[in-house]
Structure 1
Amino acid sequence: MGLEREQDIEIRTPPRFAPGERVRATRHIKNDGTYPGKEIGENLVRKGDEGYVRDIGTFLQQFYIYAVEWIDRGTVVGMRARELMSLETARTPCSAEIGAGFNEGTAG
């Protein structure tokens, strides 16, 4: 196993979000066939929807999966960290964003 594969193991670091934390979806999420009662390809979460992390699990002993409760939709959907942003912690722009003229707090 090469080094690049070992770097992909997200669970070697602490989870990015905590249970009870308020989050926003950063992209649309469609049913990939693992969500019961919905058609494959049906929208489960829309970009910009807000919810709360209910629980944290893992997938393939490699990735964190955040069970997010979407209050307005009345559903709980498993999400990856890259699909979420916290609404409770101040977002610090990286140097590339500062140079590009982005404002703090802008979703990217």
Structure 2
Amino acid sequence: MADINRDEDTIEVADPPRFVFGERVVSRTTIRNDGTFNGKDIGDVLVKKGDIGYVVSIGTFLQQFYIYAVEFTDYGYRVGMRAKELMTLDNLPDDILAQLGDRASALKEL
């Protein structure tokens, strides 16, 4: 039987962070306030899937996970996010860039 909490058992901090300071990232999911973001009600949308931000700091949570503080300039605030909620826009592998073709140059202009 598969362990449904397998992700929660992973110790990310045993490896280097997936993202670096200043890296452009895109949200892979919609992020709602879980009560830790001041000034917004619990359940309010903080970040929509596809929103672009910049990693401004890297911390840890429970000595297990990296938490990336991502500045979303369109909103004017920072949101703490896990690596699984983000995808890089600056360091895409060559095979992905090749698949994007002309759209890859458009990404650089964002």
Q: TM-score range by the shorter chain?
A: 0.7 to 0.9
SS in 1 for 2:84: helix
The answer for unaligned runs of 5 or more in structure 1 is 94-102
Matched, 1:19 2:17: no
What is the deviation of 1:53? Answer: 0.1
CA offsets 1:30-84 (integer angstroms, 9 cap, x no match): 0000101100000000000001000000000000000000000001000000000
Q: Which portions of structure 1, spanning 4 or more consecutive aligned residues, are displaced by more than 2 angstroms?
A: none
Q: What TM-score do the two structures reach when normalised by structure 2?
A: 0.78
**Equivalent residue number for residue 104 of structure 2:** none
User: Given residue 23 of structure 2, which amino acid in structure 1 is its aligned partner?
Assistant: E
Matched, 1:74 2:69: no
Aligned equivalents of 1:41, 1:13: Cα separation in 2: 32
**Equivalent residue number for residue 104 of structure 1:** 99
Contact 1:25–1:46 (CA under 8 A) maintained in structure 2: yes
User: Given residue 22 of structure 1, which amino acid in structure 2 is its aligned partner?
Assistant: R
**Equivalent residue number for residue 57 of structure 1:** 59
**Equivalent residue number for residue 31 of structure 1:** 33
Q: What TM-score do the two structures reach when normalised by structure 1?
A: 0.79
Matched, 1:10 2:5: no
Identity of aligned residues (%): 57
Aligned equivalents of 1:50, 1:40: Cα separation in 2: 22
Name the Cα RMSD after superposition.
2.4
Aligned equivalents of 2:63, 2:94: Cα separation in 1: 30
What is the deviation of 1:104? Answer: 3.4
**Count of residue pairs brought into register by the alignment:** 95
Could you say which structure has the higher helix fraction?
Answer: 2
